[in-house]
Amino acid sequence: MKLSNIKLIIGREIRDQLRDRRTMFMIFVLPVLLYPLLGLSLAQISQFVQEQVVTVMVVGAEQLEDLPPLLEDHR
């Protein structure tokens, strides 16, 4: 296959893709809307997780000689 034929086919495919509105929406508009929305939702989720208090039970803590620093306050 000649290089000129390959260039012709590539040019035709690009032109066909530029005519398709759905493809243009998926390439340009959707990422502009989707990425900020994902970033904001991830920030909200991380803020919710940080504010949540978690209680952990240590089995056999009374048998430890030295308590780890995190457990000293909650004996």
The token pair that represents 9 in the structure block: 């086919």
Residue with tokens 């990422």: 31
- Give pLDDT tens digits for 40-61: 999 999 988 887 777 777 787 7
Instruction: Provide, rounded to the nearest whole percent, the portion of the chain with pLDDT above 70.
Output: 88
Provide the domain count of the chain. Answer: 1
- Is 73 within a domain? no
- Is 30 within a domain? yes
Q: What value does the mean pLDDT take over residues 32-45?
A: 95
- Is 57 within a domain? no
Q: In terms of DSSP H, where are the helices of the chain?
A: 3-19, 21-24, 30-51
pLDDT at 43: 94
- Is 10 within a domain? yes
Domain hosting 16: range is 1-40
Distance CA(29)–CA(71), nearest Å, equals: 51
- Is 17 within a domain? yes
Distance CA(11)–CA(4), nearest Å, equals: 10
Residue with tokens 């009374």: 62
Band (pLDDT 50/70/90 cuts) for residue 1 is confident
The token pair that represents 62 in the structure block: 């009374």
- Is 34 within a domain? yes
Does the pLDDT of residue 21 top 60, yes or no?
A: yes
